[in-house]
Amino acid sequence: MRRYTNALKTALLLGVLTALILTIGYALGGSTGLIVATVLSLVMNGAAYFYSDTIALHAMAARPVNEVQAPELHAMVRELATSAGQPMPRLYVSPIAQPNAFATGRSPRHAAVCVTDGILRLLTPRELRAVLGHELSHVYNRDILTSSVAAALAGILTSLANLALFLPIGSPTEDEDAPHPLAALLMLILAPVAAGLIQLAISRSREYQADADGADLSGDPLALASALQKIDQWTRQLPLPADAPHAAYAHLMIAHPLSDDGVAALFSTHPPTAERIRRLRQLASQVPAGPSGPARPAPRSSWAGALAPTMRSLAR
């Protein structure tokens, strides 16, 4: 039921973004601007839908890894996907030293999961499995498509608003189709803010849900909490530059990879890590205690214990 509720919210948010694009197009160029905005909206939505995974993986310089190269990683993801009754996604490794992970793709059948070299070096097999459960939950909840389309539409809003700086703005008395100067000015100021706030609303709520669903899928909320704590500590020491090519995909990653200094912290696409950890620990306290403690231990312990050496060789 939660998934369908989120789908409805997503449709409403994307509808608002599309309406803003059309409104800005008309404000900047009248009927002609409306036509251009409509075409741009259709093109960018189509590109985001069909090619968002390819674009994101290319930006992260990710390389595919097959079952021969990473048998334990494949076994771990296959076990989680089978538990969820979903197809096996493609697996990638990015050479980025910062520990992080993300999923992309328009549906579970076209999904890809990418982990960085940094996360392979940092996390234990149990923690990595919990992170993979989080990323797979994003795929199953259709969060990835939503974020990609929202990012594309937000980009159009910003581009159209910036375009107003270079367009002559005439008086509405000269031509009934001409945009009003005040309307254009308001769009120039408000469009990027509106786009950013809508995208922020999509991302933050879905991180909490992916944490909960990922913890349920892996059966190990404490492992995910531990992984988030480690990733957050390392990210503070090694943040991605805001102008890096892959910084545009920060909202896809499990932890916010950019510096949170100053006002930028107010516009992070991720909720506070401390709050995420608190919620996961609260979930763990509600899980009936078993022989190994409150969280269910990861299955396939025979290969999980041997995962670390393979992960280190993959990261080299």
Q: Which residues are catalytic?
A: 135
DSSP structure class, residue 260: -
Helices assigned H by DSSP within the chain: 2-59, 71-84, 117-122, 125-140, 143-163, 181-218, 221-237, 273-285, 301-304, 307-315
Joined tokens for residue 142: 């259709």
- How many Cβ atoms from other residues are within 10 Å of residue 238's Cβ? 13
Q: Which residues contact 7 (CB under 8 A, 6 or more apart)?
A: 142
How far apart, in Å, are the Cα atoms of 241 and each of 114, 167, 230?
20, 32, 20
Crossing angle (nearest 10°) for helices 143-163 and 125-140: 70
**How many alpha carbons lie under 13 Å from residue 193 in its C-beta half-sphere?**
5
Q: Which own/partner pairs from 295-302 qualify as long-range (CB within 8 Å, at least 24 positions apart)? A: 295/219, 295/220, 295/221, 295/222, 295/223, 296/219, 296/220, 297/126, 297/220, 298/125, 298/126, 298/129, 298/218, 298/219, 298/220, 298/223, 299/79, 300/75, 300/76, 300/79
Q: Distances from the Cα of 10 to the Cαs of 3, 6, 139, 146, 277, in angstroms?
A: 10, 6, 14, 7, 25
